[in-house]
Amino acid sequence: MPRAILASFARRLASQDLTLFSDERLTPARLRIELLSGLTVALALVPEAVAFAFVAGVHPLVGLYAAFLVGLITALIGGRPGMISGATGALAVVMVALVATHGVEYLFATVVLMGLLQIFAGIMQWGKFIRLVPHPVMLGFVNGLAIVIFLAQLGQFKVPGSMENTGHGMGGGTWLSGGPLALMLALVAVTMAIIWVMPRITRVIPAPLAGIGIVAAVVIGFGLDVPRVGDLASIQGGLPQWHVPMVPLNWETLQIILPYAVILAAIGLIESLLTLNLVGEITGKRGGASQECVAQGLANTVTGFFGGMGGCAMIGQSMINVKSGGRTRIAGIAAALFLLVFILFAAPLIELIPLAALVGVMFMVVIGTFAWNSFRILRKVPLTDAFVIVLVTVVTVMEDLAVAVVVGVIVSALAYAWNNARRIHARTRTTPEGAKVYTVQGPLFFGSSDGFVELFDPENDPDTVIVDFAESRVVDQSALQAIEAVASKYEASGKRIVLQHLSRDCHRLLTRAGHLVVDSDDDPDYGLAVNYGVRTGILGGH
């Protein structure tokens, strides 16, 4: 890596807000809010980490260690205070094939490589490309994730006990029915009601924590027979231990883990950066994309050496945190440390918490996350944007987040290119000297180059033709090639063509038509998005 890039990134990282307290003053009230918010998030992390470990086909502690380590490191140095990271389902569904085929040691090696790739992406400042994600894609992402979170909670309405044996997450077990189902639904509804009412009574305790605490007290006090956290699996364990992945260090191993590492790194960064933007809209913060890439990468690299399954930002837990008042790094750090305390000391107590309380919290997250105004927006925005919102939502639910975002960006880009391609046209007039003037309007690029060529009539035009680009912009090499093609047609017809108001880049890059370009003091000054061509000389720019 060039030293200049590393030095530039180091300066940028040093200038970022790495304080624990962001711009919030650390008062006793603020500290209480942050700690209680962290406790709420930690409680919600437990069943999620266990469930995603089952999805990936690994031991629950592998998921819990990932939630602790990834959550702690990203809370310390991540790009957005208030974000929560941990083991996620989006990554787990990719990991399951690797674990089933090659074993968990190859998973640890893949997580290390995944982290290194994410660090590289951060150093190269590729996180800034998240700006290219259009707003309709963001709406589809939010709605799709809300639906995915909702569907993930439905697995809690199954009789626990067989999930660990299946290795397929919530796919095992039988659905609750009759009285147990009614009791489960009632407790979920009570939890949701408490969360809705609590802020109207007091904000001393975060509403989700109050919902979990009250419902857990009722269930434990009355000895109600409902599914509990301990029914998923025991979360009792020790400290994560340093563990170098036991895989052969050879080319064959790299061939196995590299494809998985690339996919996991891409999914993790996309989900993290989109969550970063979403949390930023709520908290009023901006920037930090490249810093978040490095933080996620470092977290995953460390996690791979401590027996964790890796992770990325968690939109559900992040929403719980910010809605509970968490605004600084303290909340994320507290959530990770509370989770470690649960594993080391409080497992018997945490395992008594009813799953219904945690499901109720996540259902409220779903309600708060889903962009309900998108139903109204769908009737007002252009048809293409409405289609993108629905498409990204559906693909997120049916496939995964990374595929959905890529599809949404591609469709949006194609729609943008098509709309701009249709804008190319020209006004014509005849000068007193008999020359015909084409005043080109609209951007000239690969999408509009064919339409540009069709604007001209070399056979019937007069001997002198002037093409004025004052109201247009030449964007890429396809545009230059189209200008060359038009000039060639007029030259073949024995007619003279004059090109006006082209940028200096165009002056240099047009070969056959270059001598027909008229210099002017008011020529525009912009660069072209093309590459230098060694042989032809017509491909160039910056």
3-state secondary structure 106-120: HHHHHHHHHHHHHHH
Residues 413 and 431 placed together within one structural domain of the fold: no
**The total number of structural domains that make up the chain:** 3
| Residue 82 in domain | yes
Q: What is the pTM of this model?
A: 0.79
Residues 258 and 344 placed together within one structural domain of the fold: yes
> CB-based contacts of 305: which residues, under 8 Å, 6+ apart?
108, 112, 242, 243, 244, 245
For 436, list phi and psi in degrees, rounded to 5: -95, 130
Give residue for tokens 């180091």. 10
For 263, list phi and psi in degrees, rounded to 5: -65, -45
Tell me if 127 sits within 8 A of 273, measured CB to CB.
yes
pLDDT at 164: 45
By DSSP bridging, strand 425-430 and strand 312-313 are unpaired
Q: Which of 264, 368, 372 is nearest to 317 (CA)?
A: 368
| Distance separating alpha carbons of residues 310 and 74, to the nearest angstrom | 12
HSE (CB half, 13 Å, CA atoms) of 355?
28
pLDDT at 155: 85
pLDDT at 160: 58
Q: Which of 489, 480, 497 is nearest to 541 (CA)?
A: 480
Count of CB atoms situated within 10 Å of the CB of 313: 32
Residues 343 and 429 placed together within one structural domain of the fold: no
pLDDT at 168: 37
Q: Which of 230, 188, 191, 196 is nearest to 214 (CA)?
A: 191
Q: State the greatest distance between any 2 C-alpha atoms of the chain, in Å, as a whole number.
A: 99
| Residue 278 in domain | yes
Output Rg (C-alpha) for the chain, integer angstroms: 29
Count of CB atoms situated within 10 Å of the CB of 346: 15
What type of residue sits at position 61? L
| Distance separating alpha carbons of residues 18 and 244, to the nearest angstrom | 30
Residues 319 and 350 placed together within one structural domain of the fold: yes
pLDDT at 71: 96
What is the domain range of residue 448? 422-516
Q: What sign for the dihedral angle of Cα 195, 236, 84, 366?
A: negative
Residues 411 and 442 placed together within one structural domain of the fold: no
Residues 400 and 435 placed together within one structural domain of the fold: no
CATH classification of the domain holding 452: 3.30.750.24
pLDDT tens for each residue of the chain, 542 residues long:
455 555 655 555 555 444 455 556 778 989 999 999 999 999 999 988 988 898 888 999 999 999 999 999 999 999 889 899 999 988 988 898 999 999 999 999 999 999 999 999 999 999 888 888 898 999 998 899 889 889 888 888 887 554 443 333 445 568 889 999 999 999 999 999 999 999 999 888 899 999 999 999 999 999 999 999 998 889 999 999 999 999 999 999 999 999 999 999 999 999 999 999 888 888 777 778 999 999 999 999 999 999 999 999 998 899 999 989 998 999 999 999 999 999 999 999 999 999 999 999 999 989 988 989 889 989 888 999 999 999 999 998 988 777 898 899 999 999 988 888 888 999 999 999 999 999 999 999 999 999 999 999 999 999 999 999 989 888 888 888 999 899 889 989 999 988 888 877 677 767 655 556 666 666 676 666 554 333 333 323 32
| Residue 127 in domain | yes
| Residue 376 in domain | no
Residues 394 and 430 placed together within one structural domain of the fold: no
Domain boundary among 355, 374, 391: 355
Tell me if 71 sits within 8 A of 317, measured CB to CB.
no
Count of CB atoms situated within 10 Å of the CB of 298: 21
| Residue 508 in domain | yes
| Distance separating alpha carbons of residues 178 and 417, to the nearest angstrom | 56
H or E element that contains 429: strand 425-430
Q: What SS3 string covers 87-142? A: CCHHHHHHHHHHHHHHCHHHHHHHHHHHHHHHHHHHHCCHHHHHHHCCHHHHHHHH
Residues 400 and 481 placed together within one structural domain of the fold: no
HSE (CB half, 13 Å, CA atoms) of 99?
22
Tell me if 41 sits within 8 A of 50, measured CB to CB.
no
Residues 398 and 452 placed together within one structural domain of the fold: no
Tell me if 303 sits within 8 A of 70, measured CB to CB.
yes
CA distance from start to end of the chain: 22
Tell me if 272 sits within 8 A of 292, measured CB to CB.
yes
> CB-based contacts of 196: which residues, under 8 Å, 6+ apart?
207, 364
Please return the burial class of 540, using the count of CB atoms within 10 Å of its CB with bins 0-12, 13-18 and 19+: middle
Residues 145 and 242 placed together within one structural domain of the fold: yes
Residues 33 and 141 placed together within one structural domain of the fold: yes
Tell me if 509 sits within 8 A of 526, measured CB to CB.
no
| Cα→Cα distances 511→41, 476, 480, 485, Å | 63, 15, 10, 11
Read out DSSP for 38-57? HHHHHHHHHHHHHHHHHHHT
Q: Which of 139, 60, 86 is nearest to 320 (CA)?
A: 86
Residues 285 and 433 placed together within one structural domain of the fold: no
| Residue 459 in domain | yes
Which tokens belong to 159? 């009789």
| Residue 368 in domain | no
What type of residue sits at position 302? V
| Residue 346 in domain | yes
pLDDT at 506: 74
